[in-house]
Amino acid sequence: MKPLTPQATTVDTKELVQKTVFSVLFTISFTHLLNDMMQSVIPAIYPLIKQNFKLSFTQIGMITFTFQLTASLLQPFVGFYTDKKPRPYSLAVAMAFTLVGLVLLSTANSFLSLLISVSMIGIGSSIFHPESSRVAHLASGGKKGLAQSIFQLGGNAGSAIGPLLAAWIVIPYGQSYVIWFALAAVLGMMILTRIGKWYKEHLYLKKKASVNTAESAGPALSKRRILVSLSILLVLIFSKYFYMASMTSYFTFYLIDKFHVSVQQSQMYLFVFLAAVAAGTMIGGPLGDRFGRKYIIWISILGAAPFTLLLPFASLFWTGILAVIIGVIISSAFSAILVYATDLVPGKVGMIAGLFFGFAFGMGGVGSAFLGWLADKTSIEYIFKICAFLPLIGIITGFLPNIEHQVKSQK
């Protein structure tokens, strides 16, 4: 075997850097599952803590708002900082914050202590999402939609599994059993330390290979058009996550109030909805890579409208069916939105991921707080009738430019 010349070594290194690393994608997706599974314990135990602490719906909304606020505000800043100075081992640090938050949540004895515990979990999320999204981007090998879908699949699967586990572990035995979820945080820290090592080595290889791809040049759009496009995407995130807030925070209460199901039965329905969300996430990214992300965004947001409008008037059986359809359709948008945004602003993956994850969390928090207040003033059923109109905002997707052919032509 002939020794490699410096030129051959550079070529091999470039090929290695540009290869899709599925082992890393599925590993980071699994840690996303662990992260979001632990976070989903918070809304899953709302019926329990509402009863134990005698909370109003407004206070339930404030708990979600506190978590989402801490999870959203820091994300763009974390992403902006790590775009300039990557911190491979910050992922393990993020999981440590979540661990502390879970321990505090299991022992919380007042409304204030509940807010402190969920804020710690929120801080962990604000560090985890921008950096883990960058890892998925680095491991994508150019298949960015697929990579984001695999990454998002883990998160959505975790969000679906969390309420199910909470129904089995926490609801029957009490708040203190939240501590068992801390084992997942410890496992996550161990895995993310290994991922941090790969991340560090990959950054070194990328620098050594001097990889200069189409990521360094964005589409031929004016700065104003890019800002308008980003604003449209953020409005779409608002419509999606305000509606998602009604489902994740209040769907169980809606089912209990309207159909008189038990808490554990309502958790099963929430699990089915979140499982549908996970399935839709996996579908959206590859379809966006193949058919164009703008069209997937359009179908995902606006296409959910007929089913959200029917939901408040459906029987229990059809409520379950419609929840699955809505979950699959509306969840297919986020991967496409995120990759579309990173194509608009290349070279700023951390900042864009932080901005969009942060805004999504923020809208979820504001939505939960507002809808909790509205539910106290009116009824749980009323907020589902109002939120049903939110997906109609998806019509503004038509104003987004078609940029896929521009990005492809630069490769």
| Domain-embedded: residue 216 | yes
Alpha carbon distance 304, 392 (integer Å): 8
User: What residue type is assigned to position 206 of the chain?
Assistant: K
User: Are 371 and 363 within 8 A, CB to CB?
Assistant: no
| Domain-embedded: residue 156 | yes
Alpha carbon distance 320, 340 (integer Å): 32
User: Are 114 and 53 within 8 A, CB to CB?
Assistant: yes
Q: Where in 96-229 does DSSP place strands (E)?
A: none
Look at the chain and count its residues: 411
HSE-CB of 180 using CA atoms within 13 angstroms = 13
Q: Please choose, from the candidates 174, 319, 314, the residue with its C-alpha nearest in 3D space to the C-alpha of residue 251.
A: 319
CA dihedral in degrees (54, 60, 62, 66; nearest 10)?
Answer: 110
pLDDT computed for residue 218 by the predictor: 59
Domain count, the chain: 1
Q: Please choose, from the candidates 41, 364, 344, 86, the residue with its C-alpha nearest in 3D space to the C-alpha of residue 221.
A: 344
CA dihedral in degrees (266, 271, 272, 276; nearest 10)?
Answer: 140
| Domain-embedded: residue 70 | yes
| Domain-embedded: residue 154 | yes
pLDDT tens, position by position, for the chain (411 residues)?
444 344 444 444 455 556 778 899 999 999 999 999 998 888 888 888 888 898 888 888 888 888 878 887 788 888 888 777 878 888 999 999 999 999 999 999 999 999 999 999 999 988 998 888 889 888 888 788 888 888 888 887 887 788 888 888 888 888 899 999 999 999 999 999 999 989 888 775 666 555 444 445 556 788 899 999 999 999 999 999 899 989 988 999 999 999 999 988 998 898 899 888 888 888 877 887 777 788 889 889 999 999 999 999 999 999 999 999 999 999 888 888 888 998 888 878 878 888 887 888 778 778 888 898 899 999 999 999 999 999 999 999 989 998 765 555 454
Q: What are phi and psi of 379, to 5 degrees?
A: -160, 165
| Domain-embedded: residue 236 | yes
- For the chain, state the CA radius of gyration: 21
Alpha carbon distance 8, 14 (integer Å): 10
Q: Which domain holds residue 53?
A: 10-409
Q: Please choose, from the candidates 158, 207, 198, 203, the residue with its C-alpha nearest in 3D space to the C-alpha of residue 24.
A: 198
Alpha carbon distance 135, 125 (integer Å): 15
Q: Where in 7-162 does DSSP place strands (E)?
A: none
pLDDT computed for residue 11 by the predictor: 45
Q: Please choose, from the candidates 106, 103, 104, 100, the residue with its C-alpha nearest in 3D space to the C-alpha of residue 52.
A: 106
Longest dimension (CA), the chain: 77
| Domain-embedded: residue 57 | yes
| Domain-embedded: residue 2 | no
| Domain-embedded: residue 168 | yes
Computed from CA positions of residues 64, 336, 269, 243, in that sequence, does the dihedral angle turn out positive or negative?
positive
* CATH number, domain containing residue 290: 1.20.1250.20
pLDDT computed for residue 180 by the predictor: 94
Its pTM stands at 0.72
